[in-house]
Amino acid sequence: MTFKKPPRLESSIEQSIVRSIKHEGIRCDKYKTVGRRAAPDRIVLIPGGFAMFLEVKRPGEVMTKLQLQYKADLETLGFLDEEVHSVGETWVALAKFRTIMKCRGVPESLLPNLP
């Protein structure tokens, strides 16, 4: 009899992400809103006064329509809101954030160094 490995829970993925980026001096706090559903799971606070948002999903899952609308609202305000399924995708999202900030004219010295 073979056993399938159960899929990782979203909370387990979130914990891995928080531990991973915490070592780089980046905070990844739980993000909660009052009176509005579908908010991103995490707000990433980056040294230098920068912030981005993460929607953590299990592999194979995607954002709901309401989450996509919230993402669009945040991006209209100039924030990056990324859907991630792993620690690796989180680092890709942080690299994307760094590139966007450079394109907006933020001096490289103010941007976080990423491994």
Each residue's pLDDT tens digit, 32-88: 988 888 999 999 999 888 999 999 999 999 999 999 999 999 999 999 999 999 999
pLDDT in tens, 23-32: 888 999 999 9
Q: What is the pLDDT of residue 92?
A: 94
The CATH code that applies to domain 25-107 is 3.40.1350.10
Angle at 63 between CA 59 and CA 65, to 5 degrees: 155
Q: Which residues does residue 51 pair with via DSSP β-bridges, in sequence order?
A: 45
Tokens 């809103």 sit on residue: 33
pLDDT range class, residue 114, cuts 50, 70, 90: confident
Q: Report how far residue 91's alpha carbon sits from residue 114's, in angstroms, rounded to the nearest whole number.
A: 8
| Tokens coding 7 | 């899929």
Q: What is the pLDDT of residue 5?
A: 64
pLDDT range class, residue 9, cuts 50, 70, 90: confident
Contacts of 10 (CB under 8 A, 6+ apart): 41, 56, 57, 58, 61
